Structure 1
Amino acid sequence: MTTRRKFLAGAAAAPAALATPALASGTIKWRMQTYAGPALAEHVVKPAIDMFNKIAGDRMQIELFYADQLVPTGELFQAMQRGTIDAVQSDDDSMASPTEVTVFGGYFPFASRYSLDVPVLFNQYGLNEIWDEEYSKVGVKHISAGAWDPCHFATKDPIRSLADLKGKRVFTFPTAGRFLSQFGVVPVTLPWEDIEVAMQTGELDGIAWSGITEDYTVGWADVTNYFLTNNISGAWAGSFFANQGSWEGIPEDLQTLFRVCCDQSHYYRQWWYWGGEANLRVNGTKMELTSIPDAEWAQVEEAALKFWDEVATESPTKAKVVEIIKKYNADMQKAGRPYRYG
């Protein structure tokens, strides 16, 4: 809180100065905030920023802040748009981006089955161009999108049927919560750092925010008893963003270096999550695995397709993204193994 007070005081006193890169003769300073808390950030972003700072040296340095450290995650976009934060790592949904693509950030139900689906959708199926256009309208540079872990329930009580979800107070993403509410889930919004305590006090019954790797990494496996193997998405979709003025204020070679470090971060997460999810299901000792039968879970998958169509009616841009997701998944299904099974 002390850091946040100092930050807000400085922002109020000199907002223009914060949005302006340092003079070319000095070291360019950026402030970047991630959606992740310290333990998770050690994997999902800190190695990349450390690498950037080491290579850039006295030309440019990025100071990294963690979840809610400077501003609440829900205010990240506004802070970046104003230039009081230079860069952000988050999904569109969590940081409440005022764009037509926000609903697809984080966990858009069943849009992906595997983590590799996300970069292919962005780099080969046209999502990069749509995201770039949408964020350019609001003064933000969309730099790079990548995948994180699948979305599973971690709960106090076992979930073995859809009926077991009814009435459960669950911390999850806005769009995921909107989708899951039809099955009786009660979405709860809290600061990331409060989740562990909320599970202990009974304010929450469960978490649908990550896969099992994060549950162990951030301590949630210590306050939950069960892990549901069914998931509502194969991979979280998140991005690196920057204030447009801050981005244009750094030389092209530093822009390239930042992109390369973002790509390194995406690659690190691909194998860290993929291996971690399997290893902890097999060898983890803190949570018991439960499953909802495939025939029953098919109701959730069918509801997702209706949800896609509902979202598509909201705007032409959303309709375009939904059509891309539909085409991609149809292509993967036709491609067969190893792209899709069954």
Structure 2
Amino acid sequence: MSSELLDALNILEKEKGISRDVLIDAIEAALVSAYRRNFNQAQNVRIDLNLETGSMRVFARKEVVDQVFDPRLEISLEDARRINPNYQVEDVVEMEVTPKDFGRIAAQTAKQVVTQRVREAERGIIYSEFIDREEDIMTGIVQRLDSKFIYVSLGKIEALLPVNEQMPNERYKPHDRIKVFITKVEKTTKGPQIFVSRTHPGLLKRLFEIEVPEIYDGTVEIKSVAREAGDRSKISVHSDNPEVDPVGSCVGPKGTRVQAIVNELKGEKIDIVKWSEDPVVFVANSLSPSKVLDVIVSENEKATTVVVPDYQLSLAIGKRGQNARLAAKLSAWKIDIKSETEAREIGIYPREEMIKLFDDQDKDDFEYDEEME
């Protein structure tokens, strides 16, 4: 009995990653449950489990009182002192009450309880592992699909990819290997439930951290991300090291780094721009690939008016306003775009020094579409 029990504990600890203490607590709780259920007892009992001999003993615990009202839970001071003359009122007396056939009955009844406790411990381990990975990226394998979710295997557990978190330009099939962003880990009665996304801006950020060593080691910092998943994204980057080109680091030799991310996102276009603490420069950069003539800032309203050449107005606004919308998200400034002609009509004249500044800045900006196509 003892060797079998020890072997079982060792196997469960090794294969399931559950500590021996948790397993022993589960077994003792199961034996208490078995005793009360099979022998119709309601005493406060304790199980003494001897792992060396494999023996199991049941002890009833009773409080010493002057007057007994419930003999199942209490014992008189007189009776307690017959056992040991040192007992005092409010002490606890333990008396062995192990039934003769307890071992056989306990084994049958305890099995289900032990299994349940082991399952709960496994769920707790999985939850602890994945709660630390919220807002992180993992590679999973598509298992199955229904009208609400795609079920993605992350090894120990299946994650849920909701319809609204799926990229519109992707079609998923069982056994597809995809990278997902963990958005939420919930503890439920059926175990941990993990929700993942393919559209979250955090996925793009994590992909750059994987592909760009300078971001991973902190030399280059991602300042902000704006994304319309499956279509276009913008990302702003910065480096405190004047010798490091943050945009060039993200692009990689011949665009290989950004190309790997574009491939993972099934062709999603990516604009990489240089961040600046000056809103004039940053807003202009955010509107890449369009050329900007001037930016007028209204600090109180957190708003800007941007002047662009007449022939660049549609490019600055983008298809269905996408470029301007993403630029506003990226910079966190409201952006009102006006053509040069329209600006002059209302009394806004682009400053020559600003035009020169943006001409110089254009040389550093990278827009994936133009460079790679």
Shorter-chain TM-score above 0.5: no
Determine which structure has the larger helix proportion and give its number: 1
Larger radius of gyration: 2
Q: Larger relative contact order (C-alpha < 8 A, sep ≥ 6)?
A: 1
What is the TM-score normalised by the length of structure 2? 0.26
Determine which structure has the larger strand proportion and give its number: 2
